[in-house]
Structure 1
Amino acid sequence: MLQSRKSLSHRLLWLALLLSLGIGALTVRTLWTLRNDEWNYALQANANLVGTLSRSLEWTLDAVDQSLLSVASELERVKDLSATAQLRQQVRFEGLMRLQGLGDVLVLNAQGDIILDSGFSEPRKANFADRDYFRAFKDGRHEGLFIGKPVPSRVSQLNSLPMARAYHTPDGAFAGIVLSAVRLSYFNELFASVNLGDNSGVNLFRADGIIVSRFPYGDLDVGKSIAGSANMLRFQQENQGSFVGLAELDGVERSYSFTRVGRFPLILNVAQARSTIESKWTRSAWGLGMFTLLLMLSCMALAVLFSRELQRRQAISARLLRAERDMSTILHSIPSVVGSWDANLYNRFGNQAHEIWFGVPLEKLRGMHMSEMLGSKRFGYTEPLLRKALEGEPQVFETTLTDKQGMARHVIVSYTPERDGEQVLGLFIQLTDITDRKHMEDQLFEEKELMRLTLQSIGDAVVCCNAAGHVTYLNPVAQRLTGWQGFDAAGRDVDEVIRLLPSDAEVELDSPLRTAMQNDRPMAATRGVVEHRATHQRFDVELSASPIADRHGHVTGAVAVLRDVTQAVAMAARMARLAHYDALTDLPNRVLLQDRAQQAIAQAQRDGKHVGVLYLDLDGFKQVNDAMGHDVGDQLLVQWAQRLQAAVRQTDTVCRQGGDEFVLLLPGIGNAQQATVVARKIMAQCEAPFMLQGVAVPMGLSGGISLYPEHGRDLDELTRHADAAMYAAKQAGRNQVRLYEGTGQPPRLVVQQAALA
């Protein structure tokens, strides 16, 4: 009965729907036919119109061309074109056709000047050598009639379409052109008789896309080019025809009927807007469509009202059936064991999982006592919990059982009392398999333990924090570097536990951990200093940080790795010093001297000062080395270096050049006399003997001086000249300092030490 009512309701709805669709289809077909008729009429009318206008334009332009050709022929028969009065008698303008809109005929010579004017006996003054039509004939690029770009006439100032032909001398050379023009107002007057509706009109183009006339839109677009547009390409390729397209200038969709104007390089089209063509049909379509829609809706509404009562009755039965089916499907699809048992522990319902877990078919399960399903041994284990549940206390616990397939399952068991007020009518029992979860928990614990042991074993410090920036973990190396214990640092702000400072300042650097979390990307290693919490010992570290994300990509924290590079930094500092200082005397070496010399010379150039260079050599050093050994010689060099540093200013540089040779750089001195004063101080340092292994050893000194800029422009040149002066001092008997005097001049003695005993 229910099925027959449902079938009847569907049949009524289908019948109403088919009837409505039939009415709608008939209406659509009628409207489509009416629309096609409107378009066919418009296309035919526009094609006839463009043909009529084209023939009228062709007749006019052909007449102008014949007039120009006649004048050009007469000009080519004239032998002397210089005599204007005689030329005007020989060239008859009276025979030219006087057409409405046609301008005067002008004859131009080979230089573009007017030599004959049909409108005036004395030719008007104007030059047309820059016009496109003149250049085309002048350069020999064109023959026959040339239609130029629409421009204002230079003699009448009216917008015109120029038309020109060339004439030649008897020997064939270019002699000039015959020029006339059709005023653009002529085209507008011709097209004004046509009324095509809103957004519609007549357009005249040159074949290259230049706009000649666009009626009724005025002359604003005259001279513009639509070359390369889709519509223009079609005009140029097909010569004549009709199509629908978007206008290049205003984007309006129009129906175009177009044709070439005879043999002339012009294209005429009639452009009627789609909205204009379809306006009458649109009004009819709206009226007929609304009536049809109302009729279709009425038909469907009657069918719906008629079948609503049947649907209400069907809905109640369907909901009940669906609820029963859904409940059964859900319970049998649950991977857990779900069952309902009465107060005496006899089964009232069980899902399909009972058969898989306990091997009891559903048809035997109903009415079975729980002890039969579980067996007496397992039932004895669970009976006390069952009794508590029957007394009204819900029970939830974990246990392990082996199913009928021999698979060990770890399960969560829940006993939920089914109540009717205070009375317990039975139990709702659910067993959920959590074997996979237990395995995952065990694996997670093992991985966590492995990670903990790994972090405790590595040599780098590791610090972890949560998304709020609170410390969650420190490994032993991190505790040693920071002085924080793990339990004490837990929950504190990570920037409090790790204060990363620059090596040469007390200002904290930006927190790499927070930056990594904010940018959600790893941060490159940052060099800084970490201070021990208790001892305030400072450690140079390289800190790198990376964000920690969950499986959804959300940042949940960050981890930082701190590598102790204190020893590496100290080693780098030592290597940097060795690169610039002598290992024995701890004096600047040649590299550092070169750098300071460049600065001193640059400063001297700005201040107008001098720079002095002293080249010094200990007299008798080789004898000490040979007699007392190299170790003693090294002691002598160290003592001598200390005496040198005591004798010079802080701004001066003492450099060990090699062996017992030393170089002094004296920046910012005023003259050679100041360098001589320093030389005397240094010479005085040799007066006292050197104590070497308890023996007083007297030493002499020879030296040479050179000055910037008199004796050289750079350190190499100054050192070379100071060395030459020192060599002269040694040649002259040692124990003296000489000043370089220039090329070819002997160095001058400036300081001399008394002879040593």
Structure 2
Amino acid sequence: MSHPDSMVSKKLKRLPLETLTMAFLGLVFVSLVGFDFWQSWHARDVQLQQSESTTLNLTRALAQHAEDSFQEVDVALMSLQHLLEQGNEISFKPDALHTLLEKYAGSLEQVEGLFVFDEQGNWRATSLGETLWKGQNSDRGYFRFHNQNTTEDPFISRAIHSRSTGNWIIPISRRVTDKQGRFAGVVLATVRMEYFLDFYRHIELGPSGAIVLAMPDGTILSRRPFKDEYLVGKHLAQSYVITTALAQAPSGIVTIKAVIDGVERLYGYQLIDRYSLLVMVAMSKKELLSDWTGDTQRSAIIVASLIIVMSLFGLVLMRQIGHANTVKAELIEAHTLFNIRYIMRSPLCGLSLTTSQYC
């Protein structure tokens, strides 16, 4: 009985050399392409994981910056609120109150102005000097909110144009009550939007990256890049972060297409409960993978070059094998003819039963 290994060996020996060569080259090509694809896909996953970690850390850092910025302002507002509610004598002297507001505002880089309004919305004092606006502010959203709500928490309203300076501001305010607990006015700080934009400009995000400071309902307070009325005061209510992600976790990272421009981005988000703010950092997925794309293209070119070189080598080898087979066939044919002629010339031709067929 023949051994299985010997049978396989005989079958391989019976296979044409051209077939074995083609099979070997095909196996090498498939291995090269498969390994390159696996390595590229693994590198892509690593790049995305690193990008997610970086984006989430950046989001948390910016959320902390926003919280600290508003907390500093809120501390000043609480001090003013306490002074007014206790009936400190400074609160009855407009010049002294103006000086105090000016001192507070001067110590806060993010603040454009501090204001005190009475229960009718009239100005009592401001940290600003001469301003263009001297009317009432009872129509402002923050004033109406405090007039209708007794909350002791600070209130941050949507970004607006300042009537005093014409600049974009983010109002943060507190309710002032009299000794009977009735509404007695509002203390207000106007935070410069430019303060956040200046800070965000120093962060490298790529051409399609974005930083958004918003309310939890999606109302944008500030955004980099900034596009004036087109964005500020608009809503991101249909964004996946607002509709779904926030309900699942106060912070995280998702990959979605932006509501505003349709670009697929990696979004890190962080909710600031203390001031009802939301910070989002968006990085274009295409730009995040730009280095990986370049490396993959270079790797593909190298693999393609190797395949071309090996294909040319295989073509030459196949031709050599074909030429060798042709020479071998010609030698066998020549050898056979020589033997026939030799036998025919032999004196024994015709006498031998085994060679009579050639005679």
TM-score bin, normalised by smaller chain: 0.7 to 0.9
Equivalent residue, structure 1, for 2:235: 225
8 Å contact 1:150–1:162 — kept in the other structure?
yes
Residues 18, 118 of structure 1: alpha-carbon distance in 2 compared, 3 angstrom cutoff: same
Equivalent residue, structure 2, for 1:159: 168
Equivalent residue, structure 2, for 1:291: 302
1:258 matches 2:255: no
How far residue 176 of structure 1 moved from its aligned partner, in angstroms, is 1.3
Task: Supply the distance in 2 between the matched residues of 1:162 and 1:192 (Cα, whole angstroms).
Answer: 22
Equivalent residue, structure 2, for 1:243: 254
Residues 159, 95 of structure 1: alpha-carbon distance in 2 compared, 3 angstrom cutoff: closer
Residues 241, 130 of structure 1: alpha-carbon distance in 2 compared, 3 angstrom cutoff: same
1:276 matches 2:287: yes
1:168 matches 2:177: yes
Task: Supply the distance in 2 between the matched residues of 1:161 and 1:122 (Cα, whole angstroms).
Answer: 18
Q: How does 1:230-629 map to 2 (within 5 A)?
A: 230-234=240-244, 236-237=246-247, 238-261=249-272, 263-299=274-310
Which segment is superposed worse, 11-20 or 166-175? 11-20
How far residue 295 of structure 1 moved from its aligned partner, in angstroms, is 2.3
Amino acid at match of 1:112: G
Task: Supply the distance in 2 between the matched residues of 1:152 and 1:122 (Cα, whole angstroms).
Answer: 14
2:212 corresponds to which of 203, 215, 218: 203
Equivalent residue, structure 2, for 1:129: 138
Residues 167, 13 of structure 1: alpha-carbon distance in 2 compared, 3 angstrom cutoff: same
Q: Secondary structure at the match of 1:16?
A: helix
Superposed CA deviations along residues 324-352 of structure 1, whole A, max 9, x for unmatched, are xxxxxxxxxxxxxxxxxxxxxxxxxxxxx
8 Å contact 1:114–1:124 — kept in the other structure?
no
How far residue 107 of structure 1 moved from its aligned partner, in angstroms, is 1.0
How far residue 162 of structure 1 moved from its aligned partner, in angstroms, is 0.6
Q: Secondary structure at the match of 2:255?
A: strand
Amino acid at match of 2:261: D
1:184 corresponds to which of 187, 190, 193: 193
Q: Normalising by structure 2, what TM-score?
A: 0.75
8 Å contact 1:84–1:116 — kept in the other structure?
no
Residues 205, 90 of structure 1: alpha-carbon distance in 2 compared, 3 angstrom cutoff: closer
Residues 214, 304 of structure 1: alpha-carbon distance in 2 compared, 3 angstrom cutoff: same
Residues 162, 122 of structure 1: alpha-carbon distance in 2 compared, 3 angstrom cutoff: closer
Amino acid at match of 1:195: E
Equivalent residue, structure 2, for 1:78: 87
Amino acid at match of 1:251: G
Superposed CA deviations along residues 408-465 of structure 1, whole A, max 9, x for unmatched, are xxxxxxxxxxxxxxxxxxxxxxxxxxxxxxxxxxxxxxxxxxxxxxxxxxxxxxxxxx
Higher RCO, Cα 8 Å, sep 6+: 2
Residues 231, 82 of structure 1: alpha-carbon distance in 2 compared, 3 angstrom cutoff: closer
Task: Supply the distance in 2 between the matched residues of 1:225 and 1:5 (Cα, whole angstroms).
Answer: 75
Equivalent residue, structure 2, for 1:725: none
Residues 185, 235 of structure 1: alpha-carbon distance in 2 compared, 3 angstrom cutoff: farther
Structure (1/2) with the larger strand percentage: 1
8 Å contact 1:136–1:142 — kept in the other structure?
no
Amino acid at match of 2:75: Q
Across the aligned residues of Structure 1 and Structure 2, the Cα RMSD in angstroms comes to 3.4
Amino acid at match of 1:49: L
Task: Supply the distance in 2 between the matched residues of 1:172 and 1:123 (Cα, whole angstroms).
Answer: 33
How far residue 129 of structure 1 moved from its aligned partner, in angstroms, is 1.9
8 Å contact 1:161–1:183 — kept in the other structure?
yes
Q: Secondary structure at the match of 2:217?
A: coil
8 Å contact 2:94–2:124 — kept in the other structure?
no
Aligned length: 309
How far residue 146 of structure 1 moved from its aligned partner, in angstroms, is 0.6
Residues 90, 195 of structure 1: alpha-carbon distance in 2 compared, 3 angstrom cutoff: closer
How far residue 86 of structure 1 moved from its aligned partner, in angstroms, is 8.1
Matched residues, percent identical? 25
Q: Normalising by structure 1, what TM-score?
A: 0.37
Amino acid at match of 2:49: N
Task: Supply the distance in 1 between the matched residues of 2:251 and 2:47 (Cα, whole angstroms).
Answer: 21
1:55 matches 2:64: yes
Q: Secondary structure at the match of 1:104?
A: strand
| Structure 1 gaps, min length 5 | 312-757
Residues 90, 72 of structure 1: alpha-carbon distance in 2 compared, 3 angstrom cutoff: farther
How far residue 105 of structure 1 moved from its aligned partner, in angstroms, is 1.0
Residues 80, 173 of structure 1: alpha-carbon distance in 2 compared, 3 angstrom cutoff: farther
8 Å contact 2:105–2:112 — kept in the other structure?
no
Task: Supply the distance in 2 between the matched residues of 1:173 and 1:129 (Cα, whole angstroms).
Answer: 16
In our comparison, the structure showing a higher alpha carbon Rg is 1
Task: Supply the distance in 2 between the matched residues of 1:10 and 1:112 (Cα, whole angstroms).
Answer: 93
Equivalent residue, structure 2, for 1:68: 77
8 Å contact 1:149–1:223 — kept in the other structure?
yes
Task: Supply the distance in 2 between the matched residues of 1:122 and 1:39 (Cα, whole angstroms).
Answer: 51
Task: Supply the distance in 1 between the matched residues of 2:188 and 2:37 (Cα, whole angstroms).
Answer: 59
Equivalent residue, structure 2, for 1:101: 110
Superposed CA deviations along residues 237-277 of structure 1, whole A, max 9, x for unmatched, are 32212222111101111122222246221111221111221
How far residue 224 of structure 1 moved from its aligned partner, in angstroms, is 0.9
8 Å contact 1:126–1:155 — kept in the other structure?
no
8 Å contact 1:195–1:201 — kept in the other structure?
no
8 Å contact 2:239–2:258 — kept in the other structure?
no
8 Å contact 1:58–1:262 — kept in the other structure?
no
Q: Secondary structure at the match of 2:124?
A: strand
How far residue 286 of structure 1 moved from its aligned partner, in angstroms, is 0.7
Amino acid at match of 2:307: M
How far residue 216 of structure 1 moved from its aligned partner, in angstroms, is 2.6
Residues 173, 12 of structure 1: alpha-carbon distance in 2 compared, 3 angstrom cutoff: same
